[in-house]
Amino acid sequence: MGGVSKYFCDAVDTEPHALSDFDKHVDAIRQILGGKRVMSVDELRRGIEAIPEAEYHRLSYYQRWIRSITFNLLEKGVITEAELRTALGEA
Amino acid sequence: MLEAGQRVRVRDDWPETRGPCHIRTPHYLRGEIGTVERHLGDFPNPEDLAFARPAPAKALYHVRFDLPMHWPEGRAGDALVVEIFEHWLEAA
Amino acid sequence: MSLLETPSGKLLDAISALLAAKGIAAPDEIAERIRITDQASPARGAQMVARAWTEPEFRAQMLANGTLAAESMGIPMRGLPPLGVLEDTAEVHHVVVCTLCSCYPRAVLGYPPFWFKSAAYRSRAVRDPRGLIAEWGTVLPDSVKLRVVDSTADYRWMVLPLRPEGTEGWSVEQLAALVDEGDMIGVTIPTRG
């Protein structure tokens, strides 16, 4: 993002924004996955960078995280697509 | 090992154009010349960590870049200080 | 992959259930992690700053090794990235940004604020830092050099600001109350209030 012109003229929203329960929950999962060496922070970042740009800007900060976490857990085989579908109630 | 005060150039390389990767060297510094401030330690290469590959430790440096750079903004005398791995630096 | 486009709330519920079923992250473990994370706040960093202002030995330790200095005050740092401390002087002022993501010294400042994670902050900090901190009303004298620290890799950086004038004889608690998160990232400067 450094110096990128697209955002260069944007004002900075300096107001405090409290984190939601969703945000804190995702953050906590990220920490646990990192602590147990299931997924590194660099893997999280790669997964965020892989989100298509339009989608990236539609998602909030922690929405990007849960998406990257899901991407990584699938890619690493920690969970399977079938398991995820079942858990989502889409089986 | 690089010495404090040594002039270095950030490699003008764009692995992003060659395939999936995760690079901790910002785009805005590629090809820029700076000065080594100090060695910060050796850390596992994030380019490998991002793919869960074995990640050998690489030397990490604080490198100073004097403003203004390639942008019109930025005041002479001000500077950026950035963590950059040795494999992204070459003699300048 | 269409599964990834599932609404985030549903995705979180499903991932939480799977991680619990696989014994990777139980609900009580997650609750405990949230509780621990909530305990970290800028008050911790402010305590370190105030102590550095009043104890030269602690100041030296903090500048040499922020992690050890934080641990010596009971702040849990184990397993976390090293904490680097940037010393402001009468000649040099520091501002911290992470242009690549949102690396932040969470152990001593808590969750990063919204603005720190914003595209505008991350874009402008390295290109027009004086214009950026003016958004907070911060104007540096021409005699002060600004150094922007882009936190791109393994360290987490906090600023040790200048002690405000007119605070001679103040207690550590009084001094700590003057310091907020913006002061320790460098977008603002602590004042006597």
Subunits with 3+ C-beta pairs closer than 8 A to C: A, B
Distance from CA of A15 to the nearest CA of B (A): 26
The two three-digit tokens of residue C160, written as one number: 């040790």
Classify domain B7-91 at the CATH class level.
mainly beta
What are the counts of helices (DSSP H) followed by strands (DSSP E) for chain A? 6, 0
pLDDT tens figures, B6-18: 999 999 999 999 9
> Is the pLDDT at C163 greater than 70, yes or no?
yes
Q: Is C101 a catalytic residue?
A: yes
| pLDDT value of position C1 | 53
Domains of chain C, by residue range, sit at 9-38, 41-185
pLDDT tens figures, C125-136: 999 999 999 999
Phi and psi of B9, rounded to 5°?
A: -115, 135
CB contact under 8 A, B52 and A40: yes
C-alpha to C-alpha distance for C71 and C59, rounded to whole angstroms: 14
| pLDDT value of position A90 | 64
pLDDT band at residue C147 under the 50/70/90 scheme: very high
Contacts of A45 in chain B (CB under 8 A): 22, 50
CB C4 within 8 A of CB A71: yes
CB B77 within 8 A of CB B49: no
> Is the pLDDT at A39 greater than 80, yes or no?
yes
With a threshold of 0.90, tell me whether the complex ipTM lies above it.
yes
| pLDDT value of position A60 | 95
Question: Of the candidates A17, A63, A88, which has its C-beta nearest C14's C-beta?
Answer: A88
What is chain B's mean pLDDT, rounded?
96
Specify the higher pLDDT residue, C56 or A53.
Answer: C56
C-alpha to C-alpha distance for C13 and B83, rounded to whole angstroms: 37
| Peptide bond between residue B20 and the one before it cis (omega within 30 degrees of 0) | no
| pLDDT value of position A22 | 98
Q: Is C72 a catalytic residue?
A: no
Distance from CA of A74 to the nearest CA of B (A): 13
C170–chain A Cβ distance below 8 A for any pair = no
Nearest CA in chain B to A3: B28
C-alpha to C-alpha distance for A63 and A40, rounded to whole angstroms: 18
C-alpha to C-alpha distance for C15 and C109, rounded to whole angstroms: 28
pLDDT band at residue A1 under the 50/70/90 scheme: confident
C-alpha to C-alpha distance for B31 and B88, rounded to whole angstroms: 10
Query: Which residues, listed in sequence order, are joined to residue B20 by a DSSP beta bridge?
Result: none
| pLDDT value of position B69 | 86
Task: Domain C41-185: give its CATH architecture.
Answer: Alpha-Beta Complex (3.90)
Which parts of C100-166 are beta strand (E)?
Answer: 145-150, 156-160
What are the counts of helices (DSSP H) followed by strands (DSSP E) for chain C? 10, 4
Phi and psi of B91, rounded to 5°?
A: -60, 140
> Is the pLDDT at A91 greater than 80, yes or no?
no
Q: Is C103 a catalytic residue?
A: yes
Specify the higher pLDDT residue, A9 or B67.
Answer: B67
pLDDT tens figures, B50-86: 999 999 999 999 999 999 888 888 899 999 999 999 9
Percent of chain A with pLDDT over 70: 98
Testing the interface with C: which of A6, A19, A23, A29 to mutate, by most C Cβ within 10 A?
A: A29
Specify the higher pLDDT residue, C43 or C193.
Answer: C43
Question: What SS3 state is found at C45?
Answer: helix
Residue C41 per-residue DSSP state:
-
C25–chain A Cβ distance below 8 A for any pair = yes
Q: What is the CA radius of gyration of chain A?
A: 15
Span B24-28, average pLDDT:
96
C150–chain B Cβ distance below 8 A for any pair = yes
What are the counts of helices (DSSP H) followed by strands (DSSP E) for chain B? 1, 5
C-alpha to C-alpha distance for A66 and A37, rounded to whole angstroms: 17
What is chain C's mean pLDDT, rounded?
96
Amino acid at position C53, single letter: W
